[in-house]
Amino acid sequence: MKWTTLFATAAVLASMSVSSHAAKLAAWQQQIIDFVDEKAGEHEKIAQEIGSLAELGYIEHKSSALLQEHLEHEGFKIEAEVAGIPTAFVASYGSTGPVIGIIAEFDALPGLSQAATPTKLSIDGQVAGHACGHHLLGTGAAEAAVAIKRWLVASGTKATVRVYGSPAEEGGGGKVYLTRAGLFDDVDAVMNWHPGDLNGAAAISSIANYSGKFRFRGVSAHAAAAPERGRSALDGVEAMNHMVNMMREHVPQESRIHYVITAGGLAPNVVPDFAEVYYYSRHPDPKVVASIWRRIEAAAKGAALGTGTTVEAEILNAVYPLLPNNSLATTTHRNLSLVGGVSYTEAETTFAQELSNSFGKRNKALASANQVQDLMLDTGYVMPGSTDVGDVSWVAPTTMISTATWVPGTPAHSWQAVAAGAMSIGLKGMHVASKTMALTAVELIKKPVLLAQAKAELERRQGEGFQYQSLIGDRLPPLDYRK
């Protein structure tokens, strides 16, 4: 999910900002801020360690264990390996009162190794990187949960806070399986954040997504001495891709289709007997994207028939669009405005200026990192990205914020995102997020009317008779999709 796109492409967002601590904090609000600050150093170390591990989806064993051990030490009860996923977990404190969920992700992206430097510099021996900042996302969730738990103890308030360890957001759909397993069914509100290059809260939708792999099998042969005896699996992939590319003219304009060839042979003088292509298909309406996916599957079958090969298709992931919640977004924005944005030191400013030189004409003012964007309520805008948080948002009211863990102007899934997310700029943005989520959660606990409003809005948007059904059916989690 590319949350920086949320604020970078939405024209309805104004350039006005809210300064840090615009209003005087109440005693309980200051207490929450203090709870986060007191353990900031500890959480920074966890974030940096997960960042250096840079584990891919469904194989984030050390990262997941690190968060579980920390939360257990802080008094949370751990339920490990939930929903049939070895790296998924639920960490809970409390057993009565309103239930507040906080989403934690921790998977990295392949091929984006980068040191914490303002120039491109990969790390020897590291093949992945946190180019979407999930090391900060997961740790920030834990940081918020610990602060909420400490406030519950100090105030004697009855409520339950849960951290949902959610693997493989990047294409693996971890939260789809957690949602399908009913783990969010009794949650009153879900706190969700994502690293980005600006600070803002929004109630917006996203696009639904189907993804999967098509595996072609043919007959190998000497490409020069006996080509007539071969049947190229790569020909099957290329024929399929050609047909799908022609199909682009005949799908709704909101659609998105993209692919990578993940296997295409090993030597040009050998007719490849195996080839694989990995596809994504997106559209705001799940029914439309399902119909597009069926057409992609038909193209694969036609390609196999025409090239004398066979093909098998595997759907890896399918997610709902985000369901906006204006009520929760309003409460979240109010608390984000109290916390404020990220202030740079002189050294951080120098780092940011040098890094921003790599953006070309897409630079944004560095001062925007210290601003909070205007609240964006639902106006029908659809963010051009997909996330498995979408499934969660259809069963529990879900709020969404982004904070400036990256230098303004940074694109997601880039080496620049890894660089800033690995140093103090990223850590400062993480603390902004954790303070905002903790303040929002406590306000919801203190004011049950806000939770009731959020739930009523969810039910209205769901529509009469809605019952959640996963788009991936009963398939098991694709635990090997990154292997």
At residue 279, φ and ψ (nearest 5 deg) are -115, 145
Is 301 domain-assigned? yes
Task: Tell me: do 132 and 197 sit in the same domain.
Answer: yes
Going by pLDDT thresholds of 50, 70 and 90, the confidence category of residue 23 is: low
pLDDT, tens only, 404-453: 999 999 999 999 999 999 999 999 999 999 999 999 999 999 999 999 99
Lowest mean pLDDT among 77-86, 349-358, 362-371: 362-371
From residue 275, alpha-carbon distances to 211, 216, 272 in Å are 17, 5, 7
Task: Tell me: do 199 and 298 sit in the same domain.
Answer: no
For residue 474 the two structure tokens come to: 């009963």
The CATH number of whichever domain residue 76 belongs to comes to 3.40.630.10
For residue 60 the two structure tokens come to: 């984030």
Task: Tell me: do 270 and 383 sit in the same domain.
Answer: no
For residue 187 the two structure tokens come to: 């949650």
For residue 33 the two structure tokens come to: 């801020």
Task: Tell me: do 31 and 138 sit in the same domain.
Answer: yes
Is 279 domain-assigned? yes
Alpha helices (H) along 156-274? 174-180, 233-247
At residue 190, φ and ψ (nearest 5 deg) are -115, 130
Q: What is the spatial distance between Cα 368 and Cα 372, in angstroms, rounded to a whole number?
A: 8
Task: Tell me: do 179 and 84 sit in the same domain.
Answer: yes
Q: What is the spatial distance between Cα 329 and Cα 204, in angstroms, rounded to a whole number?
A: 9
Going by pLDDT thresholds of 50, 70 and 90, the confidence category of residue 13 is: very low
Residue type, position 185, single letter: D
End-to-end CA distance of the chain: 21
Task: Tell me: do 404 and 438 sit in the same domain.
Answer: yes
The model carries a pTM of: 0.92
Q: What is the spatial distance between Cα 405 and Cα 422, in angstroms, rounded to a whole number?
A: 9
Is 22 domain-assigned? yes
The CATH number of whichever domain residue 259 belongs to comes to 3.30.70.360
Task: Tell me: do 287 and 365 sit in the same domain.
Answer: no
Q: Where is pLDDT greater, at 25 or 89?
A: 89
Domain count, the chain: 2
pLDDT, tens only, 307-351: 999 999 999 999 999 999 999 999 999 999 999 999 999 999 999
Is 42 domain-assigned? yes
For residue 208 the two structure tokens come to: 């639904």
Residue 2 has what pLDDT? 53
Going by pLDDT thresholds of 50, 70 and 90, the confidence category of residue 22 is: very low
State CA 403 to chain mean position distance.
13
Residue type, position 5, single letter: T
* Radius of gyration for the chain, computed over Cα atoms and rounded to the nearest angstrom: 23
State CA 292 to chain mean position distance.
24
Is 192 domain-assigned? yes
With beta carbons less than 8 A apart as the criterion, state whether 400 and 201 touch: yes
Task: Tell me: do 314 and 190 sit in the same domain.
Answer: no
Share of the chain above pLDDT 90, in %: 92
With beta carbons less than 8 A apart as the criterion, state whether 343 and 267 touch: no
Q: Given a cut of 50, is residue 17 above it in pLDDT?
A: no
Going by pLDDT thresholds of 50, 70 and 90, the confidence category of residue 18 is: very low
- DSSP secondary structure of 360-406: GGG---GGGGG-BPPPB--SS-B-S---THHHHHTTS-EEEEEEE-S
How many CB atoms within 10 Å of residue 284? 20
State CA 282 to chain mean position distance.
16
From residue 327, alpha-carbon distances to 407, 458, 464 in Å are 30, 10, 20
For residue 245 the two structure tokens come to: 């590319």
Which domain does 307 fall in, by range? 208-319
Task: Tell me: do 160 and 13 sit in the same domain.
Answer: yes
Q: Among 301, 319, 337, identify where a domain stops.
A: 319
Task: Tell me: do 373 and 402 sit in the same domain.
Answer: yes
Task: Tell me: do 141 and 71 sit in the same domain.
Answer: yes
In sequence order, what E strands does 182-254 have? 189-196, 200-202, 208-217
